[in-house]
Amino acid sequence: MCQARPVAYKGRWTERGRGLVRFTGVGMRYGGPRGRAAWGLLGVSFELAPASFNWLLGPSGAGKSSLLRLMHLSLRATEGRVEVLGEDVARLSRWALTGLRRRIGVVFQDDRLLPHLSAYENVALPLRIQGVTEMRLTADVGEMLRWVGLEHRAEEPPEILSGGERQRLAIARAIVARPSLLVADEPTANLDEAQARRVIALLRELHRMGTTVVVATHSETLPVEYPAPALRLEEGRLVSHG
Amino acid sequence: MARGALRGLRGRDPLGLRRAFADRLLPALVAAMALLAALALAGAHGAGQLAQRWQAGAAGPALVTLPAGADLAAASAALSPHAEVAPVPEARMRELLAPWVGEVPGLPLPRILEVTPTDRAGLEAAVSALPGARLEGRGESVAQAVTLAAGLRALSLLLLLVIAAVAAALVAVATRAGIAARRETIVILHELGARDSDIAGRFATRLAVLCLGGAAAGTAAAALALWFLAGAAVPVALSRPAAWDDLPWTGLAALPLAAAAIGWLTARLTLRAWLRRLP
Ligand SMILES: Nc1ncnc2c1ncn2[C@@H]1O[C@H](COP(=O)(O)OP(=O)(O)O)[C@@H](O)[C@H]1O
Ligand SMILES: [Mg+2]
């Protein structure tokens, strides 16, 4: 992504020096069977600096996915305050939430590519959703596919790509609209080591270009290889941050 | 965030709805219902025409017969508050009867008044007050026939409403099936920042097109059948040759549009309700 523009941060947080992402006493309670509720997250507070790269660590079931889903607005906190890109999400209208979603990129553990669309159309999707003109779309999608090394597979359906290729395609889709925040939930979990490194390298490059990146992983080796601030969760509680 | 800042979804078919709704069952069912609706429309139209014709007949002149030798002038005076009364002259009566009975100078003939009622109930009362007088008219049976025609018309319109409701239910079921087939896709589009109205709009357009096509085919088939049916039925029922406006062309032309509107609106509402459950 050689010609990528630096992401222009807009919003109140810059003027007021606020964190790009801030959780204050956030709890996530899931309704259990026969009224028995379970806490996925409890009393979680932290702040992420703008344009930072962050690990989100913890064993399976610790609450990493819950936290990331709150961050990319596919879940609403049952307690506490979630601020994303300087906006208190509980106070946003449905319309404003839609606008905010367009500034957040998401990479899921299972790539969640659309099977009825080609690789090219999958990457183009966020731009189509945002009503981008065909000319700009062609340029941006081509550039993204080159960046993740998949320009030669543009017309293939996702199902015939390898796991690593699919995950890179998912990253291309997550960042094609130049989000201010990129959230990745175990993006390397299904990949071999070489592919995992390649994916992490892409995410770090994106961070260097000014995007705030949060990557969840239950791997203990990746954070050692790529040192960065880490949020550590255990049984729904934040046990360390730094 | 300014309202105008969010632009809408582009692209030919990002939701893959062509394939999700490739099934021909919905258009076929809509075609069948359009056919039924066309028949109901033609029924309402035909009943209306019959009622009109019968009503015109009932409003026309009737005859009051009086016994031979009755006082025509007195009878006319008694009936005139309730009707326009015109005595049929005796000479005319003899002339009319001549082909059957010949010239019989002394033959006693009933006296006949031609009456055009202005107040049918009053007229009937006045006639029964005259000794030996009888009102020859189709009044009673025509009134019943007109009521029947009005009832048929109301029934046909009710039938149209039922058909519209069933069509809406059918579209809702088809839309839900489409949502089930594309659930993951819809959720992903939502999470990538697609507007509810864009997603709902894509479904609405697709279903409107399917309903339009199905209803157009069904209506065309019905119109063809009705055209031949009118050719046979109109001469019998209305004693005249069938004419172009014996079929409710405006209504028939509106059927596919109504079907498209039902498809569009139902799909949109179904999607909106479903999307509201997403965060
Ligand atoms: N949709 C859900 N309904 C009920 N419980 C859930 C749901 N999602 C997550 N949980 C529970 O919340 C806890 C945290 O899960 P999760 O956020 O997926 O953790 P992680 O991603 O770290 O594995 C787990 O105990 C899990 O069972
Ligand atoms: Mg998880």
- pLDDT at residue A35, rounded to an integer: 65
CB contact B272 to A (< 8 Å) = no
ipTM score assigned to the predicted complex? 0.86
Rounded Cα gap, residues A224 and A219, in angstroms: 10
Nearest listed ligand to the Cα of residue A185:
2
Task: Give B9→chain A minimum CA distance, Å.
Answer: 4
pLDDT single digits (tens) B51-107: 887 777 666 777 888 887 778 788 888 888 888 888 887 777 777 777 777 777 777
pLDDT single digits (tens) A141-152: 999 999 889 999
Query: pLDDT tier at B5 (50, 70, 90 boundaries)?
Result: low
| Other beta carbons less than 10 A from residue B64's beta carbon | 25
CB contact A90 to B (< 8 Å) = no
pLDDT single digits (tens) B119-149: 778 888 888 888 888 877 656 667 777 788 8
Rounded Cα gap, residues B160 and B151, in angstroms: 14
pLDDT single digits (tens) B255-271: 999 999 999 999 999 99
Instruction: Enumerate the β-bridge partners of residue B112.
Output: B65
Q: Taking a contact as any Cβ pair under 8 Å apart, which residues of chain A between 61 and 80 contact chain B?
A: 72-76
Instruction: Judge whether A37 and A31 are in contact, CB under 8 Å.
Output: yes
Q: How many angstroms is it from A112 CA to the middle of ligand 2?
A: 14
Q: Residue B251 region, left (φ>0) first, then alpha (ψ -120 to 50), else beta?
A: alpha
Nearest to A147 by CA among A182, A208, A183, A198: A198
Exposure string of A71-106, with b = 16+ CB inside 10 Å and e = fewer, is bbbbbebeebebbbbbbebeebeebbbbbbbbbbbb
Residue type at A215 in one-letter notation: V
Q: How many angstroms is it from B252 CA to the middle of ligand 2?
A: 57
Kindly identify which residue of chain A lies nearest to residue B19, measuring between CA atoms.
A116
Q: Taking a contact as any Cβ pair under 8 Å apart, which residues of chain B between 35 and 94 contact chain A?
A: none
Q: Do A132 and B189 touch (CB under 8 A)?
A: no
Rounded Cα gap, residues A170 and A147, in angstroms: 12
CB contact A10 to B (< 8 Å) = no
Nearest listed ligand to the Cα of residue A41:
1
User: What DSSP state is assigned to residue A239?
Assistant: E
Tally of residues, chain B? 279
pLDDT top residue among B273 and B13: B273
pTM, to two decimals = 0.78
Instruction: Judge whether A230 and A242 are in contact, CB under 8 Å.
Output: yes
pLDDT single digits (tens) B153-206: 889 989 999 999 999 999 999 999 999 999 999 999 999 999 999 999 999 999
Atom of ligand 1 nearest to the CA of A185: 21
Contacts of residue B196 in chain A, CB cutoff 8 Å? 94, 98
Nearest listed ligand to the Cα of residue A59:
1
Q: Where are the domains of chain B?
A: 11-56+141-275, 68-132
Q: Do A131 and B184 touch (CB under 8 A)?
A: no
- pLDDT at residue A3, rounded to an integer: 37
Least confident of A28-37, A120-129, B165-174, B241-250: A28-37
What are the distances in angstroms from CA B43 to CA A3, A165, B38, B251, B255? 70, 64, 8, 12, 15
Instruction: Judge whether A239 and A63 are in contact, CB under 8 Å.
Output: no
Q: How many angstroms is it from B202 CA to the middle of ligand 1?
A: 33
Nearest to A107 by CA among A200, A44, A19, A29: A200
A75 token code pair: 């879940």
Tally of residues, chain A? 242
∠ at Cα A47 (A53, A49), nearest 5°? Answer: 40
Atom of ligand 1 nearest to the CA of A60: 23
Rounded Cα gap, residues A240 and A233, in angstroms: 7
Q: What residues line ligand 1, using a CB cutoff of 6 Å?
A: A 30, 38, 40, 58, 60-66
- pLDDT at residue A7, rounded to an integer: 35
Considering the segment(s) A49-76+93-241 as one domain, its CATH architecture is 3-Layer(aba) Sandwich (3.40)
Strand pairing report for A230-234 and A38-48: unpaired
* % residues pLDDT > 70 (chain A): 90
A235 token code pair: 């049984």
Kindly identify which residue of chain B lies nearest to residue A112, measuring between CA atoms.
B188
Rounded Cα gap, residues A90 and A23, in angstroms: 12
**Residues by chain with Cβ below 5 Å of ion ligand 2:** A 65
Atom of ligand 1 nearest to the CA of A58: 22
What are the distances in angstroms from CA B254 to CA A95, A138, A177, A193, B261? 36, 42, 44, 64, 10
